[in-house]
Structure 1
């Protein structure tokens, strides 16, 4: 991983002067090229944090730096060029009558010349495997396809960071896999640094690093393995451990020689297949 592209130092944010803080003395760093998952139950502060990183909110206390720029009113628009967001409901994100028009929307707002725009639309849709749908109307697409078009619209502007704000929560398993695989490919190619905001620990299991939020504070931070080792502490704050992790535990309790608690179904299936082959 590279240098810090985001630095957050002791930020505090209240929605109303008299209310309890939605974020209380939160500090974190995001490394260039990594995938950071920020998880927590509803009301934990994770979505508020995402909106601060994109400059939609400014903290009342503390400091935020994005790609070397301090988050201030003067720098908001420059920071938003560097941070793209994909939101929860893909239907609420479309503004164009076709996929091509929708991907072009952000480029037009940034006054990208037409020749460059055509190249970027082609490149961005190819990255998410939607180049064959350029003339399709968005409402004819599946949920996963719509989110992939939303991602294409974001990366066409060429941000340094992409934030997924519960971007897969309304999708079926196939659509969720489509979106996550597309983003993973972009991250592995070094095109974007990824921050995913989610309550789904199965999604977080595929990140490089995880931050757990609870009641506006940072509850824990570490690799997925380190976070899931907290076990009951996570369920106590309203999070569900991945099914593959829970099943690994039950198999070991039943005497099946599973070597570890698997974070993903793929890993568990592979080990069970290996055990079956040996027997």
Structure 2
């Protein structure tokens, strides 16, 4: 768990935002921080403001009021390109992210745009693909890959640019369970190895359970903030907001009604299986 007294990587301070064609604010007086090396999940139903936050964090939109700082840079038209070098985004549909004819061409695309020398670019491409376990697909055409593999290549393209923050904007929502697991495991490994800050924008609380901290958005405001364990205690409130608690927690509660007794909530399937195995051994 990340210590919240650590180094601030992102600071959102009293940010409000309204789209030009709407009367209602998409974000209203939102404040929170993201710390270096932390995995923060931002969850909420459609229209809660979480996707607007992703656009603001990458400078695709600018706040109507309030300030956003990334690595001590205040977001503005003057700093947006420096901020984008620090923040990489992985989007929802992997098919919409490919621009190269091969995997290595696609990973190299962002580096070419930055004018990185050829020798350095080749090394970064190979290192990034190795980190996401896609080196063997170097010359593969992207459309032949599975959904999970495509997202891992998209992540490699971001990693090659050496950002300090990765934003996953509903990046696993179109994947099957295997692809979703591949992407989450890849991100967790990269976060730890490279000391990245990760922000998951998602409505999937199973994905959010992997995070160090969760922010629940509702109607453009921060509704709740806490550890996954703290947030998932709010089962009825989350349901009222249109969110669903992780399967492992629902299963644990169903098992408790059948006479099983667990000392705590279990946030992942593996934790629940380990707990059941421990109960079996202690019989």
Give your verdict on TM over 0.5.
Answer: yes
Secondary structure of 1:58's aligned partner: coil
Question: CA contact under 8 A between 1:248 and 1:260: conserved in structure 2?
Answer: no
- CA separation in 1, counterparts of 2:97 and 2:160? 15
Distance in 1 (CA, whole Å) between partners of 2:137 and 2:247 is 35
Alpha-carbon distance, 1:254 to partner: 2.4
2: CA distance between counterparts of 1:107 and 1:101?
A: 10
What's the secondary structure of 1:189's corresponding residue? helix
User: Gapped runs of 5+ residues in structure 2?
Assistant: none
Q: Are 1:124 and 1:152, in contact at CA under 8 Å, matched by a contact in 2? A: yes
Q: Are residues 1:83 and 2:83 paired?
A: no
Note the C-alpha offset of 1:261. 2.0
Distance apart, 1:190 and its partner CA: 3.0
CA separation in 2, counterparts of 1:267 and 1:17?
A: 46
Report 1:260-271 matches (<5 A): 260-271=264-275
Q: 1:129 aligns with which of 111, 129, 133?
A: 133
How far apart are 1:17 and its partner, in Å? 6.1
Moved more, 259-268 or 203-212: 259-268
The alpha carbon displacement at 1:191 in A equals 4.0
Structure 1 residue 222 corresponds to structure 2 residue 226: yes
Task: Give how far 1:18 is off.
Answer: 5.0
Unmatched 5+ stretches in structure 1: none
1:24-63 equivalences in 2 (<5 Å): 24-63=28-67
Q: 1:103 aligns with which of 89, 100, 107?
A: 107
Which of the numbers 213, 217, 220 marks the counterpart of 2:217? 213
Give TM-score, length-normalised by structure 2: 0.97
Matches within 5 A, 1:72-221: 72-221=76-225
1-structure distance, mates of 2:69, 2:265: 37
**Partner secondary structure for residue 219 of structure 1:** strand
- Separation in 1, partners of 2:23, 2:158: 34
Residues 36 and 195 of structure 2 are in contact (CA less than 8 Å); yes or no, is this contact kept in structure 1?
no
Secondary structure of 1:101's partner? helix
Q: Is the 8 A contact 1:26 1:218 kept in 2?
A: yes
Matches of 1:165 and 1:6, distance apart in 2: 17
Cα RMSD over matched residues? Answer: 0.9
Length, aligned pairs only: 279
